[in-house]
Chain A
Amino acid sequence: MIEKRFPAALDQLESVQMFVLEQLKGHTYSERTRAQLDVAVEEIFVNIARYAYPPDQPGWALIRCRVEEEPPRIIVQFVDRGVPFDPLAKKDADITLSAEERQIGGLGILMVKRSMDQVEYTYEDGQNVLTLTKNI
C-alpha cells in the first residue's frame, strides 16, 4: 500500500484526489470510473475535514491506496484519529421526497455506497478506518 498523510482540511481536497488518481497511472479505466472515484474521495475526505476533529485541534487523514490486478481494482483507505464516526450506520437518505421535504444530509455517503463496489468501516486502536473498493 502507498500511503500519504494530509492535514484534515478542506483546502487539501484537490491534493487528495490527485494522490488517489495518480495511483491509477498506467491502468485503463473509464471516465465514469474516474468521476465516481473522484466524488467518493471528496465525500469521505470532506466529512473528515469538517467533522472528525474539533475546530481548535486540527488533525490529519492518512490515505492509503493499493491497485490490484486480478480482478483490476483500486482500494482506498481513509484513516483518522478523530471522533468515532461510522458513515455507514445511518439509514440511507430518502430520495423519493419532494424538493421541499428533502434533507441534503446523507446524499454524499449514498453516492459513495452506490458507486463503489465495497465500502467498509472499522474503528480500531482509536482510529476510524474507511475502506473503499472500486473495480476498474
Chain B
Amino acid sequence: MTITKKMDHTALTLFLEGRLDTTTSPQLEGELAASLDGVTQLTLDMEQLSYLSSAGLRVILSAQKRMNKQGRMVVRHVNETIMEVFEVTGFVDILTIES
C-alpha cells in the first residue's frame, strides 16, 4: 500500500492506494500514530484503495475513536467494493463518508 500525506495547518489528508489488509494495515497504523498529534481534521481519501479487510477496519475504527476526541474525521471517495464492506459491518453509521 502507498500512503501519501498532505498537511494543511491542522488538517491532515492521507491518500490510501492499494490494499488495506492484514499485511499492510500496520503501515497505516504507524502513519496515524506518528502524524495525528495536533490534527483536528483527518481525511482518509480512498479513491485508489482497492481492497479492505477487517484488519483495515480495525485501524480505521481506532482512528475514528481518536479523532472523536480531538476533532473530526472524514472518509471520502469510497468505491463500491469498499462501501459494501462499510455497509455489511455497520461502519456506515460510525464514519462520516463523503463522495
Interface residues, chain A, CB within 8 Å of chain B? 10-11, 13-14, 31-32, 35, 38-39, 42-43, 46, 93, 95-96, 98-100, 102, 104, 107-108, 110-111, 114-115
Interface residues, chain B, CB within 8 Å of chain A? 21-23, 51-55, 57-58, 61, 64-65, 68, 80-81, 84-85, 88-91, 93-94
- A99's partner among B23, B53, B55, B61 (CB-CB below 8 A) is B61
* B51 touching A35, Cβ below 8 Å: yes
* B53 touching A114, Cβ below 8 Å: no
Q: How far is the CA of A111 from the CA of B87 in the complex (A)?
A: 10
* 10 pairs, CB–CB < 8 Å, chain A vs chain B: A32-B80, A35-B84, A39-B52, A39-B85, A43-B54, A46-B22, A96-B90, A100-B68, A104-B58, A107-B57
Also in contact, A111 and B61, with CB within 8 A (given A35-B81, A46-B22, A99-B68) = no
- B65's partner among A32, A38, A99 (CB-CB below 8 A) is A99
Also in contact, A46 and B55, with CB within 8 A (given A13-B22, A102-B61) = yes
Q: From DSSP, what is the main secondary structure of chain B's interface residues?
A: helix
List the A side residues contacting B84 at CB < 8 Å. Answer: 32, 35
List the B side residues contacting A93 at CB < 8 Å. Answer: 89
